């Protein structure tokens, strides 16, 4: 007997959504079903809406893709950052929601991808619609991946089921079945998409392969570190299968040669920071580079100068709005490639900026140091990119919040509120390189130096030219863990891009990492003890600020609970383990 599923979604007929995009094509207007699918260009017009469904800084109609605000993948739900109020997900105290718009939004959008694919089957000229078909397969996989990351098992939909159909009741499909379909969709999309985008922001073969590496690495490591009821032999075989797919997909992006790590000699060690704030309007950086100079972004959420993003990214991320934790600060290596606990170059915490000395340059450009001069597009901004600019700047005072302040995602040119126009990296080359390194290592517990050199070391040495490469000899000589160093590089590089909590979940380390207190700077015996007058805050036994304590974690938190309304509509869905209504 065929399964029958029920999904509560909003029926939107055949009207494509109007989305904010810089693709130079008009959104689909109201068209009857007999008109929508009679021309190849209408398939493409219909597929344009899919590009509005990716991750972005902040989304208005859902939060599954919100990169700069709280959402299922947000770093705010991890162990590395906090805000002035408790995040219940980070604290481990979230409950079953009455409803979850992410759930219904994802299934609504899957319906749209399936609608295009269904109508494509009867279209006469298949070659003429190959690109929109590939785009639909990519986004169908993208949306199902969101469901698997959040909820585990999920209803797999590969056809547009009418909401009045009697086929909409049943259990969820095993996550493995859903992942297999995602892999198939992404492989077929990669085969059909062009190597070079016809227009900035469009999908390419390498976007599909990059996404495939993400999906297969996530599920491959999940299967490796979570038993999930499988026996060890089955689990190992499945993990090996998926990690091989992840490594090969990432390897194909590398060998394709279309993308490279962003670096410019004028920007030098600040290249990592400026990459995230490249714009096309006016002087935005000392090298006067624009978005076209960045070949690291494989797929991005595009924004044009003059678009109203609905949020001020700089104000939302810079300074003490984002409480960076001591744990994150301590993750940055010293310039000799060693962790602070092993390096003779680490200068300690006594002086206000001592811990920044001889460190990974990403620490210097991601975090603001006390007394550092900076700009925030709000009355203080860059104008000439010369020393004159320093007459019109702000000076960092880190004596608030955690004592660690963020500078990633902060623009420097004058721009009207809500009108910053940098792109959001949905998939970037650095992630793919790190996917390759991790998949290669997890396949056998070893990785060759040559594999490290074509992947992780490209990322590591972008702004750390003199830092020793990660190698087997370096790990052995210094008593390091190769797995820990691969994971460290990923965490540091992808900070504030929505990966950390999902990484902790797939590695099955959240139970160790998440219950730890979230800490700020060390107060006792340091500059802060005599220079931060408002220090009545609780300190731990090392003299560090305790931002949040009493954090908990239980195994049920590895998956989000299904919302109550969906279970009432269809009890066959079943709630995730450990969650009780």
> What pLDDT band is residue 27 in, cutting at 50, 70 and 90?
very low
Residue-level pLDDT at 15: 41
Number of domains in the chain: 1
Domain span including residue 119: 1-186+555-581
Is the model's pLDDT at 165 over the cut of 60? Answer: no
Helix (H) or strand (E) holding 483: helix 482-493
Q: What is the mean pLDDT of residues 178-200?
A: 96
Q: What is the mean pLDDT of residues 463-481?
A: 98
Name, in order, each residue with C-beta under 8 angstroms of 30's C-beta and a sequence gap of 6 or more.
15
Burial of 166 per CB tally in 10 Å (0-12, 13-18, 19+): exposed
Residue-level pLDDT at 25: 29
Cβ 321 vs Cβ 315: under 8 Å: yes
% of the chain residues with pLDDT over 90: 76
Closest CA to 462 of 272, 323, 291: 272
Cβ 520 vs Cβ 323: under 8 Å: yes
% of the chain residues with pLDDT over 70: 90
CA dist 160 to 14, 51, 118, 188, Å? Answer: 11, 19, 7, 19
| Residue given tokens 């010369």 in the structure block | 386
Give CA–CA dist 457/166, Å, rounded. Answer: 54
215 vs 414: which has the higher pLDDT? 215
Angle between helices 101-120 and 40-47 (to 10 degrees): 170
Residue-level pLDDT at 36: 80
Residue-level pLDDT at 70: 87
The answer to whether residue 515 is domain-embedded is no
551 vs 59: which has the higher pLDDT? 551
Closest CA to 376 of 412, 417, 418, 422: 412
Is the model's pLDDT at 69 over the cut of 90? Answer: no
Q: What is the pLDDT of residues 451-461, one digit of tens each?
A: 999 999 999 99
Residue-level pLDDT at 16: 38
Q: Write out the two tokens for 372.
A: 């550092």
HEC string of 351-371?
A: CCCHHHCCECHHHHHHEECCC
The answer to whether residue 568 is domain-embedded is yes
Annotate 126-141 with DSSP letters as a single string: GGGGHHHHHHHHHHHH
Burial of 556 per CB tally in 10 Å (0-12, 13-18, 19+): middle
Residue-level pLDDT at 580: 87
Q: What is the mean pLDDT of residues 330-340?
A: 98
| Angle subtended at Cα 290 by Cα 288 and Cα 293, rounded to the nearest 5 degrees | 105
Q: Provide the CA 56 distance to its chain's centre, in angstroms.
A: 10
Q: What is the mean pLDDT of residues 537-564?
A: 96
Residue-level pLDDT at 196: 95
Count Cβ neighbours within 10 Å for each residue of 446-475 and write b for 16 or more, e otherwise: ebeeebbebbbbbbbbbbbeebbbbbeebb
Cβ 395 vs Cβ 372: under 8 Å: yes
Is the model's pLDDT at 516 over the cut of 60? Answer: yes
Q: Write out the two tokens for 500.
A: 């950390």
The answer to whether residue 376 is domain-embedded is no
Residue-level pLDDT at 1: 36
Cβ 490 vs Cβ 499: under 8 Å: yes
Is the model's pLDDT at 536 over the cut of 90? Answer: no
Residue-level pLDDT at 59: 61
Is the model's pLDDT at 499 over the cut of 90? Answer: yes
Name, in order, each residue with C-beta under 8 angstroms of 304's C-beta and a sequence gap of 6 or more.
22, 280, 421
Q: For the chain, give the mean pLDDT.
A: 90
The answer to whether residue 260 is domain-embedded is no
Residue-level pLDDT at 548: 96
The answer to whether residue 53 is domain-embedded is yes
Residue-level pLDDT at 35: 62
HEC string of 522-545?
A: ECCCCHHHHHCCCCCCCECCCCEE
The answer to whether residue 181 is domain-embedded is yes
Residue-level pLDDT at 228: 55
CA dist 352 to 41, 452, 541, Å? Answer: 60, 35, 20
Q: How many CA atoms lie within 13 A of 549 on its CB side?
A: 7
131 vs 4: which has the higher pLDDT? 131
Q: What is the pLDDT of residues 225-259, one digit of tens each?
A: 997 545 556 689 999 999 999 999 999 999 999 99
Q: Provide the CA 22 distance to its chain's centre, in angstroms.
A: 21
The answer to whether residue 74 is domain-embedded is yes
Annotate 93-123 with DSSP letters as a single string: -----S--HHHHHHHHHHHHHHHHHHHHTT-
- Give the CATH number of the domain where residue 95 resides: 1.25.40.890
The answer to whether residue 168 is domain-embedded is yes
Lowest-confidence pick of 72-81, 316-325, 351-360, 510-519 = 316-325
Residue-level pLDDT at 34: 59
Alpha helices in 121-256 (DSSP H): 130-151, 175-192, 205-225, 232-256
104 vs 502: which has the higher pLDDT? 502
Q: What is the pLDDT of residues 88-110, one digit of tens each?
A: 999 999 999 999 999 999 999 99
> What pLDDT band is residue 162 in, cutting at 50, 70 and 90?
low
Q: What is the pLDDT of residues 560-580, one digit of tens each?
A: 999 999 999 889 999 999 998
520 vs 534: which has the higher pLDDT? 520
Is the model's pLDDT at 4 over the cut of 60? Answer: no
pTM: 0.93
262 vs 386: which has the higher pLDDT? 262
| Residue given tokens 């991946």 in the structure block | 145
Helix (H) or strand (E) holding 193: none
> What pLDDT band is residue 2 in, cutting at 50, 70 and 90?
very low
Cβ 309 vs Cβ 436: under 8 Å: no
Cβ 403 vs Cβ 324: under 8 Å: no
Is the model's pLDDT at 205 over the cut of 70? Answer: yes
């Amino acid at each position: 007997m065929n399964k029958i599923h029920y999904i509560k979604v909003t029926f939107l007929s055949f009207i494509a959504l109007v989305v904010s995009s810089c693709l130079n094509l008009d959104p689909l207007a109201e068209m009857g079903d007999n008109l929508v699918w009679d021309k190849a260009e209408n398939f493409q017009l219909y597929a344009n809406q899919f590009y509005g469904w990716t991750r972005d800084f902040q989304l208005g109609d859902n939060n599954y893709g919100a990169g700069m605000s709280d959402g299922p993948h947000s770093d705010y739900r991890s162990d590395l950052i906090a805000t002035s109020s408790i995040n219940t997900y980070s604290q481990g105290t979230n409950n079953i929601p009455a409803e979850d718009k992410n759930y219904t939004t994802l299934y609504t959008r899957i319906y749209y991808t399936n609608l295009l694919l269904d109508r494509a089957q009867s279209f006469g000229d298949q070659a003429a619609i190959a690109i929109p078909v590939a785009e639909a397969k990519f986004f169908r996989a993208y949306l199902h991946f969101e469901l698997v990351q959040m909820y585990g098992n999920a209803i797999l939909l590969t056809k547009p089921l009418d909401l009045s159909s009697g086929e909409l009741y049943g259990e969820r499909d095993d996550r493995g079945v859903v992942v297999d379909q995602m892999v198939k969709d992404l492989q077929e999309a990669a085969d059909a998409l062009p190597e070079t985008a016809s227009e900035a922001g469009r999908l390419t073969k390498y976007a599909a392969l990059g996404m495939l590496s993400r999906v297969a690495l996530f599920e491959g490591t999940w299967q490796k570190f979570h038993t999930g009821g499988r026996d060890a032999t089955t689990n190992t075989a499945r993990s090996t299968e998926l990690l091989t797919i992840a490594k090969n997909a990432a390897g194909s992006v590398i060998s394709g040669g279309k993308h490279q790590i962003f670096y410019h000699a004028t920007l030098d060690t600040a290249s990592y920071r400026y990459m995230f704030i490249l714009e096309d309007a006016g002087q935005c950086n000392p090298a006067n580079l624009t978005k076209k100079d960045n070949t690291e972004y494989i797929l991005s959420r595009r924004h044009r100068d003059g678009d109203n993003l609905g949020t001020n990214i700089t104000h939302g991320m810079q300074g003490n709005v984002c409480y960076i934790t001591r744990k994150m600060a301590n993750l940055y290596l010293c310039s000799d490639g060693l962790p602070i606990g092993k390096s003779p170059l680490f200068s300690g915490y006594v002086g206000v900026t001592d811990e920044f000395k001889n460190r990974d340059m990403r620490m210097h450009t991601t975090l603001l140091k006390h007394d550092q001069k900076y700009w925030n597009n709000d009355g203080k901004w860059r104008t000439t990119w010369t020393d004159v600019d320093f007459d019109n700047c702000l000076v960092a005072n880190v004596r608030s919040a955690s004592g660690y302040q963020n500078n990633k995602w902060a623009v420097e040119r004058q721009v009207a509120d809500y009108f910053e126009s940098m792109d959001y990296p949905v998939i970037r080359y650095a992630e793919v390189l790190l996917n390759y390194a991790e998949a290669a290592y997890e396949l056998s517990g070893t990785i060759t130096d040559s594999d490290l050199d074509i992947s992780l070391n490209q990322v590591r040495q972008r702004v750390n030219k003199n830092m020793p490469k990660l190698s087997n000899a370096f790990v052995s000589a210094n008593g390091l863990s190769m797995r820990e160093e691969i994971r460290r590089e990923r965490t540091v590089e992808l900070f504030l891009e929505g990966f950390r909590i999902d990484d902790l979940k797939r590695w099955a380390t959240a139970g160790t990492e998440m219950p730890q207190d979230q800490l700020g700077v060390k107060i006792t015996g340091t500059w802060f003890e005599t220079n931060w007058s408002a220090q009545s805050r609780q300190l731990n036994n090392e003299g560090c600020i305790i931002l949040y304590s009493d954090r908990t974690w239980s195994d049920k938190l590895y998956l989000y609970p299904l919302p109550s309304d969906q279970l009432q509509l269809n009890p066959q869905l079943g709630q995730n383990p450990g969650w009780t209504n």
